[in-house]
Amino acid sequence: MQYGFFDDTRREYVITNPRTPWPWINYLGTEDFFSLISNTAGGYSFYKDAKFRRLTRYRYNNVPMDSGGRYFYIREGETIWNPGWKPCKTELEYYECRHGMGYTRITGLKNNLEAELLFFVPLQTRAEVQKVTLRNNSNETKRLQLFSFLEWALWNAATDMENFQRNFSTGEVEVEGSVIYHKTEYRERRNHYAFYSVNQPIDGFDTDRESFFGLYNGFEE
């Protein structure tokens, strides 16, 4: 089965089927900040060191594979879908992932709504930029909701998987306008933080995973 092809003109690898045998990952980054992103928007980001300075959570041996990443959920009526197919795995009318040199572009189409995601790490910038473009390809007015999602890690990828009580006491969230700050370690020795920001006013937010997904639910729910 063919999953993609090389676009020599644009110097990209194009994936046309999201059900690849394994996650097909692009490495984005500069001198200090790096992101790994799969063809379904899975993966993680880190600052300088992938183990000791992990920013977002990713479970290598999770079931199903490649679970966890930077996801966008689109809700239109009773339908919820992701431009990169996962994690909801709602059937798309069109899907394409283009892994380029320093960027990844994922496009999905559902019910005449086209969603394009662009991910890249700018030079000399300690951040991953995510650009979302929505296009209504129909003549009808659409009412929809767009949710972004990521799961913060606790700086050390190894201890991030250890005793819950300790993790619970060393993560703190602060919200200012359209920015969510995530702070780790105790106040007296804290010297770093991460943030997730959007350039539009937000209608709401959750900083608790179970509140967003619902108890006993996963990314796909």
pLDDT of 44-67, one tens digit each? 999 998 888 889 988 777 777 888
Please write the tens of the pLDDT for every residue from 172-208. 788 888 998 888 765 556 677 889 999 988 898 888 7
Query: What residues make up the domain containing 121?
Result: 4-155
Provide the pLDDT for residue 186. Answer: 58
Domain at 68, CATH number: 2.70.98.40
Average pLDDT over all residues of the chain: 89
Determine, yes or no, domain membership for 82: yes
Dihedral-angle region of residue 99 (phi above 0 means left; psi in -120 to 50 means alpha; beta otherwise): beta
Determine, yes or no, domain membership for 145: yes
What's the length of the chain? Answer: 221
Given a contact cutoff of 8 angstroms between Cβ atoms, the answer to whether 15 and 22 are in contact is: no
In the structure, what pLDDT confidence band is assigned to residue 169 with cuts at 50, 70 and 90?
Answer: low
Q: How far is CA 14 from the centre of its chain?
A: 19
- The token pair at 38 is 């799969």
Determine, yes or no, domain membership for 22: yes
Determine, yes or no, domain membership for 162: no
Rounded to two decimals, the pTM is: 0.90
* pLDDT higher at 93 or 168: 93
Provide the pLDDT for residue 193. Answer: 82
Percentage of the chain exceeding pLDDT 90: 60
Determine, yes or no, domain membership for 163: no
β-sheet bridge partners, residue 79: 76
Nearest to 193 by CA among 168, 164, 215, 172: 172
- Please tell me what DSSP assigns to residue 42: B
Please write the tens of the pLDDT for every residue from 90-116. 999 999 999 999 999 999 999 999 999
Determine, yes or no, domain membership for 41: yes
β-pair type (54-56, 71-76): unpaired
Rounded-to-integer distance, Cα 195 and Cα 44, Å: 14
Name the strand (E) or helix (H) holding 12.
strand 12-15
Determine, yes or no, domain membership for 221: no
Residues 6+ apart with CB under 8 A from 6: 12, 13, 14
Determine, yes or no, domain membership for 173: no
Structurally, how many domains does the chain consist of?
1
Given a contact cutoff of 8 angstroms between Cβ atoms, the answer to whether 15 and 39 are in contact is: yes
Provide the pLDDT for residue 26. Answer: 98
Q: How are strands ordered across the β-sheet holding 193-197?
A: 171-176, 179-184, 193-197
Please write the tens of the pLDDT for every residue from 7-49. 999 999 999 999 999 999 999 998 899 999 999 999 999 999 8
Provide the pLDDT for residue 165. Answer: 61
